[in-house]
């Protein structure tokens, strides 16, 4: 109960800060008026509605998507290091969008963003195949190493493609580290729908994922088909990660930091964990983005870099806490 | 003749070229406790897995109340028959009650919320294994015996008339082995659950089983009541073991004293 109150508070603080903080400081009153008593001649109102609100929505889609995708991934693979960022799913989505832009000559329109989904799907299938998860021989170590390798490969390919072209550095930055700065140019409605579908699939198969986490033998004894559950989970991860990347670029570490907290608060009931992950992930991205905008104002540190600043120490913490033999 | 219970007809099991069980037709008596015995590598675990459809037979079939289990819907089978594999893994930090509730998986609908029936069955399972007081403790903090009882509570929560367990007493000391086996026997007496276990300890198996299936290096050696199965001749052909068989001073059942 205490945790629930804390979560709601955290969420509201993160949302409020996103709308209030910026080059043009606004009060809560301005925010209220911008939505409910809009005055077109007031530049503060305009900024809130056209810049900060999309930023808020993009942050929530990205954070909720990555948080829930991480939670599903960690549950399915029984690997506390599974994160769509670390395992190359983000990078796969970014890679597909960039290649799409290269081939068609479009400079990344909303349509291009749809490529994030096949990109994410192919990268996660590649990780599962290389990591041996499908054959049952996959250990968490193999899966993590395969993911890290594929992630590095895809990110350098993204860099190589972008550096060979004349686009501004801004696009490069977006597809390598992720940012909410272009939120109002991203296909937010479509990606919101993709996120909801992904979250819906996850919620439906959650009890079966819980069974799968007890090992595939027991899972089959409990009446689930491990292959089918893994495939549905893969679809859900792809939808949620793809949506996140399409609105905010590849952001690492959210999917790593959020799931362990969600497990603790959600007490190993996956549906509860999903709700907690969505709230925590969204809040984490919004807060990281707000801090990133404050520390070097009027410039900003990109949210992907801010999450890495928090995430890298968290990663080391998780690794150090692993029991000997836990990853074999 | 209407077939009842768990039966096999001309069941052949194997991995690739190696045949482990050949043309075995046998019945597990309903509402009794059956133990599968035999030396290491004789295929007793393989046989148990085939009974639970975890391994597809090379030929022949396994039937549950006359239905070929290969053709029963996965989830419906899981409502009739449960299996606890050897050394299952628990997610880190999970509590006993959260582990046990996962036993309800086959009974839950696609979007059905946790029902009162689910809660009642889980609570009953915890009571039967004597872990009600430890329900909120993380499973990593329990002793080996308690942990094994938590896993048994999970399959009890699955609430099936057939309960299969692969070496449920491995790694436990003698007192805890007795505890686990009497728990299973109690379940059988109270609910009429058909219990099938793979066991290593012959004397314990005799003590707690109504029916024994004894495998040797070349397939089935004997099956039947403990008195008929546990004989010096059968022990010699199954294990190559020279032993004396005498009545157990407590139960009067056969007791094995190796030479």
- Partner-chain contact B52 A221, CB within 8 Å: yes
For residue A298, cis peptide bond before it (omega within 30 degrees of 0): yes
- Partner-chain contact B93 A268, CB within 8 Å: yes
pLDDT digits (tens, 9 = 90+) for A260-302: 999 888 888 899 999 999 999 999 999 999 998 888 877 888 8
Q: CA Rg, chain B, in Å? A: 19
Q: What are phi and psi of A49, to 5 degrees?
A: -75, -40
Biggest CA pair distance of chain A: 66
**Mutating which of B46, B92, B110 best tests the A interface, going by the most A Cβ atoms within 10 A?**
B92
- Partner-chain contact A264 B90, CB within 8 Å: no
HEC readout, B227-253: HHHCCHHHHHHHHCCCEEEEECCCCCC
Report the alpha-carbon distance of residue B179 to residue B149 in Å, rounded. 9
Q: Is residue A157 part of a domain?
A: yes
Q: Is residue A35 part of a domain?
A: no
Nearest chain A residue to B162, by CA: A221
Torsion of CA A84, A85, A88, A90, to 10 degrees: 80
Q: What are phi and psi of B25, to 5 degrees?
A: -120, 115
**Mutating which of B98, B102, B138, B159 best tests the A interface, going by the most A Cβ atoms within 10 A?**
B102
Span A242-247, average pLDDT: 92
Residues 125-184 of chain B whose Cβ lies under 8 A from any Cβ of chain A? 155, 158
Helices (H) and strands (E) in chain B, counts: 9, 12
Q: Is B106 in the A-facing interface, judged by CB distances under 8 Å?
A: yes
What's the half-sphere exposure (Cβ side, CA atoms, 13 Å) at B236?
A: 8
Report the alpha-carbon distance of residue A32 to residue A26 in Å, rounded. 10
- Partner-chain contact A222 B105, CB within 8 Å: yes
Q: Is A201 in the B-facing interface, judged by CB distances under 8 Å?
A: no
Domains in chain A: how many in total? 1
- Partner-chain contact A211 B93, CB within 8 Å: no
Report the alpha-carbon distance of residue A209 to residue B180 in Å, rounded. 28
**What element of type H or E holds A319?**
helix A303-321
- Partner-chain contact B88 A326, CB within 8 Å: no
Using a CB-CB distance cutoff of 8 angstroms, which residues of chain A are in contact with residue B78? 221-224
pLDDT at A69 over 90: yes
A 10 A CB-CB count for B236 gives 14
pLDDT at A176 over 90: no
Which pLDDT belongs to residue A138? 55
**What element of type H or E holds B166?**
strand B162-166
Span A205-217, average pLDDT: 90
Phi/psi-derived region of residue B77, left when phi > 0, alpha when psi is between -120 and 50, beta in every other case: alpha
Per residue of chain B (259 residues), give pLDDT as tens: 445 789 999 999 988 778 888 899 999 999 999 999 999 988 999 999 999 999 999 999 999 998 999 999 999 999 999 999 988 888 888 999 999 999 999 998 777 788 899 999 999 999 999 999 999 999 999 998 899 999 999 999 999 999 999 999 988 899 999 999 999 999 999 999 999 999 999 999 999 999 999 999 888 999 999 999 999 999 999 999 999 999 999 989 999 999 8
Helix (H, G, I), strand (E, B) or coil at A153: helix
Nearest chain B residue to A212, by CA: B102
Report the alpha-carbon distance of residue A292 to residue A307 in Å, rounded. 10
**What element of type H or E holds B14?**
strand B6-15
Q: Is A165 in the B-facing interface, judged by CB distances under 8 Å?
A: no
pLDDT at A325 over 60: no
Torsion of CA A63, A69, A70, A75, to 10 degrees: 150
Q: What angle do CA A267, B169, B86 make, to 5 degrees?
A: 60
Burial letters for B87-115: b for 16+ Cβ neighbours within 10 Å, e otherwise? ebebbbebbbbbbbbbbbbbbbeeeeeee
Report the CATH number at residue A287: 1.10.3470.10
- Partner-chain contact A217 B106, CB within 8 Å: no
- Partner-chain contact B91 A223, CB within 8 Å: no
Report the alpha-carbon distance of residue B24 to residue B46 in Å, rounded. 13
The closest of A127, A90, A69 to A277, measured between CA atoms, is A69
Q: How many residues does chain B have?
A: 259
Chain center to CA of A192? 13
- Partner-chain contact A204 B111, CB within 8 Å: yes
CA distances (Å), origin A174, targets A170, A185, A256, B67:
6, 12, 21, 59
Using a CB-CB distance cutoff of 8 angstroms, which residues of chain A are in contact with residue B98? 267-269
Q: Is residue A17 part of a domain?
A: no
Which pLDDT belongs to residue A322? 66
Report the alpha-carbon distance of residue B190 to residue B230 in Å, rounded. 27
Helix (H, G, I), strand (E, B) or coil at A77: helix
Q: Is B115 in the A-facing interface, judged by CB distances under 8 Å?
A: no
- Partner-chain contact B74 A210, CB within 8 Å: no
Report the alpha-carbon distance of residue A301 to residue A51 in Å, rounded. 17
- Partner-chain contact B98 A267, CB within 8 Å: yes
Q: What angle do CA A111, A48, A241 make, to 5 degrees?
A: 35
User: What domain range is A161 assigned to?
Assistant: 62-321
Q: Is residue A130 part of a domain?
A: yes
Report the alpha-carbon distance of residue B112 to residue A263 in Å, rounded. 21
**Mutating which of B45, B84, B105, B115 best tests the A interface, going by the most A Cβ atoms within 10 A?**
B105
Distance from CA of A28 to the nearest CA of B (A): 39
Q: Is residue A26 part of a domain?
A: no
Q: How many CB pairs under 8 A join A and B?
A: 78
The closest of A200, A51, A77, A195 to A133, measured between CA atoms, is A77
Instruction: Pick A134 or B167 by higher pLDDT.
Output: B167
Using a CB-CB distance cutoff of 8 angstroms, which residues of chain B are in contact with residue A224? 74-75, 78, 105
Using a CB-CB distance cutoff of 8 angstroms, which residues of chain A are in contact with residue B135? none
Instruction: Pick A134 or B218 by higher pLDDT.
Output: B218
pLDDT at A91 over 50: yes
pLDDT at A143 over 90: no
Which pLDDT belongs to residue A137? 47
- Partner-chain contact B102 A221, CB within 8 Å: no
ipTM of the complex: 0.90
Q: Is residue A202 part of a domain?
A: yes
Class of residue A57 by CB neighbours under 10 A (exposed 0-12, middle 13-18, buried 19+): buried
Nearest chain A residue to B158, by CA: A222
Nearest chain B residue to A80, by CA: B92
Using a CB-CB distance cutoff of 8 angstroms, which residues of chain B are in contact with residue A78? 89, 91
pLDDT digits (tens, 9 = 90+) for B127-159: 999 999 999 999 999 998 899 999 999 999 999
Report the alpha-carbon distance of residue B170 to residue A312 in Å, rounded. 41
Report the alpha-carbon distance of residue B2 to residue A48 in Å, rounded. 75
- Partner-chain contact B82 A221, CB within 8 Å: yes
Picking from A78, A204, A323, the nearest residue to B91 by CB comes out as A78
Which pLDDT belongs to residue A209? 92
Q: Is B76 in the A-facing interface, judged by CB distances under 8 Å?
A: yes
Which tokens sit at B164? 């299969």
Q: Are strands B33-37 and B194-198 parallel, antiparallel or unpaired?
A: parallel
Q: Is A210 in the B-facing interface, judged by CB distances under 8 Å?
A: yes
Place of tokens 């996140």: A244
- Partner-chain contact B89 A215, CB within 8 Å: yes
Picking from B93, B106, B111, the nearest residue to A222 by CB comes out as B106
- Partner-chain contact A207 B54, CB within 8 Å: no
Using a CB-CB distance cutoff of 8 angstroms, which residues of chain B are in contact with residue A218? 83-85, 88
pLDDT digits (tens, 9 = 90+) for A24-38: 777 888 888 888 888
Which pLDDT belongs to residue B224? 95
Which pLDDT belongs to residue B255? 93
Q: Sketch out chain B's domains with CATH numbers.
A: 6-258 (3.40.50.300)
Name the DSSP letter for residue B91: P
Mean pLDDT for all residues in chain A: 85
Name the DSSP letter for residue B95: B
Q: How sure is the predictor about A141, in pLDDT bands with cuts at 50, 70 and 90?
A: confident
Which tokens sit at B121? 């069955």
Which pLDDT belongs to residue A172? 66
């Amino acid at each position: 109960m205490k945790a629930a109150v804390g979560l709601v508070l955290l969420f509201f603080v993160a949302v409020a800060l996103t709308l209030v903080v910026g080059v043009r400081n606004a009060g809560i009153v301005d925010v209220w008026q911008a939505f409910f008593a809009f005055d077109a001649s007031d530049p503060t109102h305009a900024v809130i509605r056209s810049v900060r609100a999309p930023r808020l929505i993009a942050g929530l889609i990205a954070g909720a998507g990555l948080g829930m995708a991480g939670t599903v991934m960690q549950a399915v693979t029984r690997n506390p290091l599974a994160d769509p960022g670390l395992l190359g799913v983000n990078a796969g989505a970014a890679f597909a969008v960039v290649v799409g832009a290269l081939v068609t000559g479009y400079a990344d329109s909303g349509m291009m963003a749809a490529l994030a989904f096949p990109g994410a799907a192919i990268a996660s299938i590649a990780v599962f195949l290389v990591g041996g998860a499908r054959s049952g021989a996959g250990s968490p170590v193999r899966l993590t190493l395969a993911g890290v390798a594929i992630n590095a490969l895809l990110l350098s390919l993204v860099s190589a493609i972008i550096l060979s072209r004349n686009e501004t550095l801004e696009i490069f930055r977006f597809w390598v580290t992720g940012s909410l700065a272009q939120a109002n140019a991203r296909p937010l409605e479509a990606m919101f729908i993709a996120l909801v579908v992904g979250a819906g699939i996850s919620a439906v198969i959650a009890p079966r994922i819980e069974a799968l986490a007890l090992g595939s033998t027991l899972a089959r004894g409990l009446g689930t088909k491990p292959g089918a559950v893994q495939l549905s989970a893969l679809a859900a991860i792809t939808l949620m990660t793809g949506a996140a990347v399409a609105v905010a670029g590849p952001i690492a570490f959210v999917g790593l930091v959020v799931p362990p907290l969600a497990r603790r608060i959600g007490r190993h009931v996956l549906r509860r964990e999903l709700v907690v992950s969505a709230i925590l992930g969204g809040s984490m991205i919004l807060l990281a983005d707000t801090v990133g905008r404050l520390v070097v104002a009027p410039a900003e540190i990109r949210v992907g870099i801010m999450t890495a600043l928090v995430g890298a120490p968290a990663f080391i913490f998780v690794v150090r806490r692993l029991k000997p033999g836990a990853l074999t | 003749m209407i077939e009842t219970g768990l039966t096999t007809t001309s069941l052949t099991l194997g991995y690739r070229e190696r045949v482990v069980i050949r043309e075995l037709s046998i019945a597990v008596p309903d509402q009794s406790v059956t133990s599968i015995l035999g030396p290491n590598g004789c295929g007793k675990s393989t046989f148990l897995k085939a009974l639970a459809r975890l391994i597809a037979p090379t030929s022949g079939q396994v039937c549950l109340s006359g239905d070929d289990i290969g053709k029963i819907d996965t989830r419906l089978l899981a409502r009739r028959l449960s299996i606890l594999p050897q050394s299952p893994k628990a997610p880190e930090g999970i509590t006993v009650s959260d582990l046990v509730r996962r036993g309800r998986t086959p009974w839950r609908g696609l979007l059905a919320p946790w029902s009162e029936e689910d809660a009642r069955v889980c609570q009953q399972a915890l009571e039967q294994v004597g872990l009600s007081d430890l329900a909120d403790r993380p499973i990593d903090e329990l002793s080996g015996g308690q942990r094994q009882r938590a896993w048994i509570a999970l399959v009890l929560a699955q609430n099936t008339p057939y309960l299969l367990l692969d070496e449920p007493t491995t790694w436990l000391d003698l007192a805890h082995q007795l505890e686990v086996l009497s728990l299973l026997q109690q379940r059988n007496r109270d609910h009429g659950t058909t219990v099938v276990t793979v066991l290593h300890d012959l004397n314990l198996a005799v003590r707690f089983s109504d029916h024994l299936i004894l495998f040797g290096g070349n397939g089935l050696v004997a099956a039947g009541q403990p008195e008929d199965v546990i004989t010096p001749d059968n022990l010699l052909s199954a294990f190559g073991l020279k032993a004396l068989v005498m009545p157990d001073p407590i139960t009067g059942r056969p007791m094995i004293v190796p030479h």
